[in-house]
Amino acid sequence: MEERERRRVVVTGMGLITPLGVGVERSWEGLTAGRSGIGPITRFDTTGLETTIAGEVKDFDPLRYMDRKEARRTDRFAQFSVATAAQALADAKLEIAPDLASRVGVVFGSGIGGVSTLVDNILVHDKDPRRVSPFMIPMMIVDMAAGEVAMKFRAKGPNMGTVSACASSAHAIGLATDTIRRGQADVMLAGGAESGLIKVAIGAFNAMHALSRRNDEPEKASRPFDKERDGFVFAEAAGCLILEELAFARARGARILAEIAGYGATADAYHITAPPEGAEGQVRAIRMALEDAGLDRERIGYVNAHGTSTPPNDSSETAALKTVFGEHARKLAISSTKSMTGHTLGAAGAIEAIICILAMRDGILPPTINQEVPDPECDLDYIPNASRRRQVDHSLSNSMGFGGHDVALIISRWAA
């Protein structure tokens, strides 16, 4: 069989919702300013919880993106998905016309999907089973983010939801990229959304000793790579990217923002929550992504780290970067933007891919805030506390998830 030239995949639009604001530029302004989006939880009564802080999205109005009836029948995580897809399509100046619909697909990831809908209906069921909503199931299942986006914008190509904990939307971008490369679509909407900020979720993460308890200083609670880190900060958010096959994007005169150059995905096969020493699964994922991109390791200039602010993650990710990059690890500019957004679970991969694109677009590398006390096990350049002006051409975004999922994405600056 004749070998075909590999189809290249580029980014033409982006949408973003984070605790720093609704919209790409509002979030980006907060990130480059080193501003924290973390504060006291206002969504529910936190009495009895060890952690009373989180990254809440405070200015989101679903009625800007759907009518009132649709909003009532859609969980907040899927509302976020539709909203960021609308933002990204507008950014890409792309309308999904009927003759294009079958060539446009959707892959959206989420770690826990409509868990708030599930819990609300369990409470209703305990009082009166007849009052359970007929929309409970379609509101709670993770794939409904992709389903709602497809129905809203009439995208009839490949459609799926990815569930791999905090690697979910990084997997979504990788799978969407592969779908275009295989020729099964010309356009993919890829992203992730999370809005599981409910009392039982905070309590469950507290039971695992995973969350920061720095309640008196919420803006300082997420402190990746800092010696005094004591856990991650739960946050809600969403991100969406419009991916297009290069020739298709050029033919319609699209503005190209970046290229998805490499994708690597592996498993630790080690522990349900902890990475192995040295994060060997992440090492293999990064090397796989470099090979996929056809890049030498010295070409990577910026790393958006998974950087959760938990003791095991940050030291093992540092070790992984040293293993992969050798002496070049000392020259890498690395940041964990979770220091400002909090940990957005299944949405993190998409959000951080977008951040890599913005960093390369503007020549500004966002900081890791709250890095104040050096940790001997975390001794690389994490862009502490203030953003840095530097132009880089190739960025790496790392994602890891409970269950041992590892993803690496290499994103390249587009030079017209």
> Model confidence over 99-153: pLDDT tens digits?
999 999 999 999 999 999 999 999 989 888 889 999 999 999 999 999 999 999 9
Confidence label for 162 from pLDDT (cuts 50, 70 and 90):
very high
- The whole-number pLDDT of residue 413 equals 98
Residue 323 is encoded by which pair of tokens?
A: 């293993």
343 catalytic, yes or no?
A: yes
Judging by DSSP bridges, how do beta strands 388-389 and 364-365 pair with one another? antiparallel
The answer, yes or no, to whether residue 234 has pLDDT greater than 90, is yes
Give the chain's end-to-end CA distance (angstroms, integer).
Answer: 34
Structure-token match 């004591």, residue found: 230
Token pair, residue 214, equals 């720095």
Output the pLDDT for position 415: 83
Global pTM reads 0.97
The residue annotated as part of the active site, out of 171, 343, 394, 405, is: 343
Q: pLDDT band for position 4 (50/70/90)?
A: low
The two three-digit tokens of residue 324, written as one number: 């992969």
For residues 335-357, give the mean pLDDT. 98
Is 356 known to be catalytic?
no
Output the six-digit token pair for 285: 């994922």
Report whether pLDDT(72) > 60. Answer: yes
Residue type for position 363: G
Stretch 265-272: mean pLDDT: 97
pLDDT tens, position by position, 102-113: 999 999 999 999
Q: What is the DSSP letter of 393?
A: S
Strands 388-389, 187-194: pairing kind: unpaired
Give the pLDDT score at 5. 80
Active-site choice (306, 378, 394, 405): 306
> Could you give all domains of the chain from N- to C-terminal order, each with its CATH number?
9-251 (3.40.47.10), 263-405+408-412 (3.40.47.10)
CA distance 36 to 38: 6
306 tagged catalytic:
yes
* Dihedral (CA of 279, 285, 291, 297) sign: negative
Indicate whether 165 pLDDT > 70.
yes
The angle formed by the CA atoms of residues 329, 8 and 164, to the nearest 5 degrees, is 60
Structure tokens at 339: 């220091």
Rounded mean pLDDT of the chain?
Answer: 97
Residue 277's pLDDT is 86
Average the pLDDT over 33-62 and give the result: 97
Tokens 């991969």 correspond to 349
Name the band, by pLDDT with cuts 50, 70 and 90, for residue 2. very low
With a cut of 80, say whether residue 416 has pLDDT above it: no
Amino acid 145: pLDDT: 98
Q: What digits encode the pLDDT tens for the residues 175-192?
A: 999 999 999 999 999 999
Count other C-beta atoms under 10 Å from residue 391's C-beta: 13
pLDDT at 6 exceeding the cut of 70 = yes
The pLDDT, as a whole number, for residue 1 is 39
Task: For residue 12, give Cα distances in angstroms to 94, 152, 192, 254, 304.
Answer: 9, 20, 17, 7, 20
Residue from 166, 240, 356, 378 carrying the catalytic annotation = 166
Give the three-state DSSP class for 48.
coil
Q: Which structure tokens are listed for 100?
A: 């294009």
Residue 136: helix, strand or coil by DSSP?
Answer: helix
Distance CA 285, CA 293 (A): 12
What per-residue confidence (pLDDT) applies to 3? Answer: 53
Cβ neighbors of 387 (< 8 A, separation 6 or more) are: 31, 32, 33, 34, 364, 365, 366, 367
For residue 251, give the amino acid letter.
Answer: A
Q: Where residue 260 falls among pLDDT bands split at 50, 70, 90?
A: very high
Q: Where are the beta strands (DSSP E) in 110-200?
A: 159-162, 187-194
**Better pLDDT: 199 or 4:** 199
